[in-house]
């Protein structure tokens, strides 16, 4: 029984992890149809921002929840103004440009921090369920994901900004029809997407060691989550995160983490074959 509780908590953790690392990508892809191949590097930069701040003596929660999103958000803003805004509507070109950007960011971080694994200890002690003990930091990750997803849903559903954002998903003309400048809205969307990626990187930093090349590990998972999710930002991300997280962890418990990842990727292949428009292209069609 205790073992089942542990498995359930680990599944929840994996769902939270996938939702966190995909949120920024989902917004940018869902609203702007921009495939940002530097997404993994945004997450990585968030991690480095947190670790560098924590090592400089700043409170680690402040570092991961405030500093990382701001730092990466500003980087996102610069990237949008200098590169991405010239390439809207040109999917292949924007992929190439952001791929080049990801290589550049890996190179820059390697120059600054060195190609060495860095990490900080998790700030939360372990907890006990029956005679099992698990890392307590996982619970914090779950909490952050729940708060973030709720906030995003509330903002999209009930605020003026959300209305404009949902309009943006329909196309440029709708933004203009609502009386806004599409270029400004796109700039803000990209910045928010980058900030969310930074937040994810900051929150994940204490769990694993960071290397400049760590973005590659995130981007594959984020992309299959977002693409399999389909057009709806929240419903899509959450439904695929739930599905993939459950499969990954159940298979991991039954065999090894490696087989768990293979199972997750295999499932993504099958789903995309059956539902090329993603899960929300088939179900939950009117959700956000």
Residue 262 in the binding site for another protein (CB under 8 A) = no
User: Residue 162 half-sphere exposure, CB side, CA atoms within 13 Å?
Assistant: 12
Which of 276, 252, 275, 248 has the alpha carbon at shortest distance from 264? 248
Which of 114, 106, 105, 89 has the alpha carbon at shortest distance from 35? 89
User: Residue 25 half-sphere exposure, CB side, CA atoms within 13 Å?
Assistant: 33
Alpha helices in the chain (DSSP H): 2-32, 39-55, 60-62, 68-82, 91-113, 137-158, 160-170, 172-177, 182-204, 215-229, 233-254, 257-274, 279-282
Angle at Cα 148 formed by Cα 217 and Cα 203, nearest 5°? 45
Six token digits for residue 173: 């003309």
User: Shortest distance, CB of residue 174 to another protein, whole angstroms?
Assistant: 41
Six token digits for residue 278: 């993603």
Binding segment (CB under 8 A) for another protein, from list 2-10, 37-45, 97-105, 186-194: 2-10
Binding segment (CB under 8 A) for another protein, from list 6-14, 145-153, 178-186, 264-272: 6-14
Looking at the Cβ atoms of 200 and 234, the one nearer to another protein is 200
Looking at the Cβ atoms of 29 and 137, the one nearer to another protein is 137
CB 190 within 8 A of CB 124: no
Which of 173, 172, 171, 152 has the alpha carbon at shortest distance from 162? 152
Looking at the Cβ atoms of 136 and 162, the one nearer to another protein is 136
Looking at the Cβ atoms of 183 and 208, the one nearer to another protein is 208
**Selected binder of another protein within 182, 215, 230, 260 (CB under 8 A):** 260
Binding segment (CB under 8 A) for another protein, from list 81-89, 132-140, 223-231, 272-280: 132-140
Residue 119 in the binding site for another protein (CB under 8 A) = yes
Looking at the Cβ atoms of 196 and 211, the one nearer to another protein is 211
Residue 202 in the binding site for another protein (CB under 8 A) = no
Residue 249 in the binding site for another protein (CB under 8 A) = yes
Which of 81, 39, 22 has the alpha carbon at shortest distance from 244? 22
Neighbours of 111 (CB within 10 A): 10
**Selected binder of another protein within 83, 155, 207, 272 (CB under 8 A):** 207
Site size for another protein (CB under 8 A): 36
**Selected binder of another protein within 89, 100, 107, 114 (CB under 8 A):** 114
Residue 217 in the binding site for another protein (CB under 8 A) = yes
Residue 244 in the binding site for another protein (CB under 8 A) = no
Residue 126 in the binding site for another protein (CB under 8 A) = yes
Residue 41 in the binding site for another protein (CB under 8 A) = no
Angle at Cα 175 formed by Cα 37 and Cα 33, nearest 5°? 20
Q: Summarize as ranges the residues that interact with another protein (CB under 8 A).
A: 3, 6-7, 10, 13, 114-117, 119, 121-122, 124-126, 128, 131-138, 207-209, 211, 217, 249, 252-253, 256-258, 260
């Amino acid at each position: 029984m205790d073992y089942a509780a542990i498995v359930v908590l680990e599944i929840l953790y994996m769902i939270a992890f996938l939702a966190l690392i995909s949120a920024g990508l989902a917004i940018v892809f869902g609203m702007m149809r921009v495939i940002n191949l530097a997404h993994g590097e945004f997450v990585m930069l968030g991690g480095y921002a947190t670790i560098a701040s924590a090592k400089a003596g700043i409170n680690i929660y402040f570092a991961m929840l405030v500093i990382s999103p701001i730092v990466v958000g500003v980087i996102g803003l610069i990237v949008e103004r200098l590169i991405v805004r010239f390439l809207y509507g040109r999917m292949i070109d924007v992929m190439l440009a952001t791929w080049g950007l990801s290589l550049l960011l890996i190179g820059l971080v390697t120059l600054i921090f060195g190609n060495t694994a860095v990490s900080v200890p998790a700030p939360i002690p372990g907890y006990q369920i029956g005679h099992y003990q698990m890392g307590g930091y996982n619970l914090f990750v779950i909490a952050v994901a729940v708060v973030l997803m709720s906030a995003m849903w509330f903002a999209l559903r009930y605020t003026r900004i959300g209305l404009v954002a949902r309009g943006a998903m329909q196309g440029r003309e709708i933004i203009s029809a609502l009386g806004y400048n599409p270029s400004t809205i796109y700039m803000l969307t990209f910045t928010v997407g980058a900030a969310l990626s930074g937040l994810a990187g900051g929150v994940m930093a204490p769990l694993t060691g960071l290397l400049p090349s760590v973005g590659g590990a995130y981007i594959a998972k984020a992309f299959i989550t977002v693409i399999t999710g389909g057009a709806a930002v929240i419903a899509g991300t959450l439904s695929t995160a739930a599905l993939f997280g459950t499969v990954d962890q159940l298979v991991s418990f039954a065999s090894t983490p490696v087989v768990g990842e293979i199972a997750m990727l295999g499932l993504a292949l099958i789903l995309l074959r059956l539902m090329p428009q993603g899960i929300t292209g088939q179900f939950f069609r009117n959700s956000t």
